[in-house]
Amino acid sequence: MAQNKDSVAYLGPKASYTHQAALDRFPETEHELVPQTTIEDVFASVQSGQVKQGVVPFENSSNGSVVFTLDLFADPTGKYPDILVCGEIYLLVHHCLLGHAANSSFSDKSTSNGTATDGEGTTSPAKPLYDLSSVKKLYSHPQAWGQCNIFLSKYLKGIERLDVSSTSKAAEVVAQDTTGASAAISSRVAGDLNGLEVLGENIEDKAGNSTRFFVLRRKDDQTFVAADGEANENETRYKTLVSFTVAHGETGALADCLAVFKKYPDHFIHTSNAKPC
Ligand SMILES: O=C(O)C(=O)Cc1ccccc1
């Protein structure tokens, strides 16, 4: 591990959206960014103290929470008792369809089949840049499918979808299959890194598609505890993540918990997520 640089784990490999979010907040001149295979690996490396901080995807403007991350915060088996959220990062997400292009590109891009629409007023102007008839398998992180519904249902309807641990992992997998039968939903950066062509760009349903990432650390990390004290003296306003479980089958149990906010009108709920365990 490089000396004098704080280490930051992220959902990798390189060129994932999480990597891009981590680079925005933690430039490599001052931080060592450490890729992890899964979101749980990021939690585990922060919990064990192997890294100082971690970055994980939390929710998306188009299709809501990242359930893997929510489940880890719920922590039903008590594996991550010392994890705290200490920051957030927002990233605009533009998805590409990446693969090995068939010979024919659509030279006049307006010749492909017109603007795709989902019938609910959301339009996706993206059209394929190449003939996609050889694509038989699609790879991506499960969170990405729901952000590209319009393009997928119009141009790749019924094509098998395979979930992998991140969008950049999807690009790595597709790079191994040179037959042209596989394609990934991932970023342009991941395409460049893995030598893949962009078969479609900006294929997300909504123009402002953005993802919110959380920065994790251990709650007993003294470097931060000191800084927290200073911030308190300056009356810094905080956003706090509160994660709890309620007894199943007790009617109104969740409502009773939330009622506490009535007593503290200067504390308000920014977002809430509820999920069966
Ligand atoms: O960071 C990634 O690349 C991921 O796979 C998680 C994700 C998926 C879709 C949008 C943002 C983050």
277 in a domain, yes or no? no
Structurally, the chain folds into a number of domains equal to 2
Instruction: Report ipTM (2 d.p.).
Output: 0.97
pLDDT of residue 110: 44
Pair 74, 101 in one domain: no
Length of the chain measured in residues: 277
Under DSSP, the state recorded for 10 is E
Residue from 10, 18, 98 to probe ligand 1 pocket by mutation (most atoms less than 8 Å from CB): 18
Strand bridging mode 160-163 / 137-140: parallel
The CATH number that applies at residue 75 is 3.40.190.10
In a domain, 271, yes or no: no
**Does 152 fall in a domain?**
yes
Residue at which a domain ends, from 148, 179, 201: 201
Tell whether 22 and 148 lie within a shared domain.
no
143 within domain boundaries: yes
Choice among 52-66, 158-172, 184-198 with the minimum mean pLDDT: 52-66
Q: Is the peptide bond before 13 cis (omega within 30 degrees of 0)?
A: yes
Distance of alpha carbon 175 from alpha carbon 196, whole angstroms: 7
Residue ending a domain, among 149, 166, 201, is: 201
- Same-domain pairing of 189 and 104: yes
Q: Are residues 83 and 114 in the same domain?
A: no
Q: What is the pLDDT of residues 125-170, one digit of tens each?
A: 699 999 999 999 999 999 999 999 999 999 999 999 999 999 999 9
152 and 194 in a single domain? The answer is yes
Instruction: Tell me, yes or no, whether 258 and 169 share the same domain.
Output: no
In a domain, 269, yes or no: no
Most confident range, picked from 9-13, 206-210, 222-226, 250-254: 9-13
101 and 197 in a common domain: yes
Distances (CA, A) of 268 to 29, 43, 237, 239, 265: 37, 27, 12, 9, 7
Greatest mean pLDDT range, 72-76, 191-195, 225-229, 244-248? 191-195
Closest approach atom of ligand 1 to CA 186: 3
Q: Which atom of ligand 1 is nearest to the CA of 16?
A: 3
Which one of 153, 168, 201 terminates a domain? 201
Phi, psi of 276 (to 5 degrees): -70, 140
Query: What's the pLDDT tens digit per position in 24-37?
Result: 999 999 999 999 99
Q: Which of 59-68, 96-105, 175-184, 202-211 has the lowest mean pLDDT?
A: 96-105
pLDDT at 88: 95
Q: Is 268 domain-assigned?
A: no
**Which protein residues touch ligand 1 with a CB less than 6 Å away?**
11, 16-18, 57, 60, 93, 141, 143-144, 166-168, 211
Q: pLDDT grade, residue 233 (50/70/90)?
A: low
Q: Which amino acid is at 94?
A: H
**Is the confidence at residue 10, as pLDDT, over 60?**
yes
- CB-neighbour burial class of residue 194 (10 A; exposed 0-12, middle 13-18, buried 19+): buried
Element (H, E) at 98: strand 96-99
Mean pLDDT of the chain: 88
Segment 262-272 shows an average pLDDT of 79
Q: What is the pLDDT of residue 234?
A: 60
What's residue 144's pLDDT? 97
Tell me whether residue 142 is in a domain.
Answer: yes
pLDDT of res. 113: 42
Verify that 176 and 148 share a domain, yes or no.
yes
Taking the CA of residue 144 as reference, the ligand 1 atom at the shortest distance is 9
Residue 98 has pLDDT above 80, yes or no: yes
DSSP designation for 271: -
Q: Which atom of ligand 1 is nearest the CA belonging to 213?
A: 12
Looking at the structure, tell me whether residues 196 and 150 fall in a common domain.
yes
Whether 274 is covered by a domain: the verdict is no
**Inter-CA distances, 221 with 11, 80, 86, 233, 239, Å:** 22, 15, 11, 19, 19
- Give, using CA atoms, the residue closest to atom 10 of ligand 1: 144
Residue percentage of the chain with pLDDT more than 90: 65
Same domain, yes or no, for 138 and 189? yes
Q: Report the interhelical angle of 39-47 vs 67-74 (nearest 10°).
A: 30
Ligand 1 atom 5: the closest Cα is on which residue? 166
For residues 194 and 112, state if they share a domain.
Answer: yes
Residues 82 and 124 in one domain: no
* Parent domain of 161: 96-201
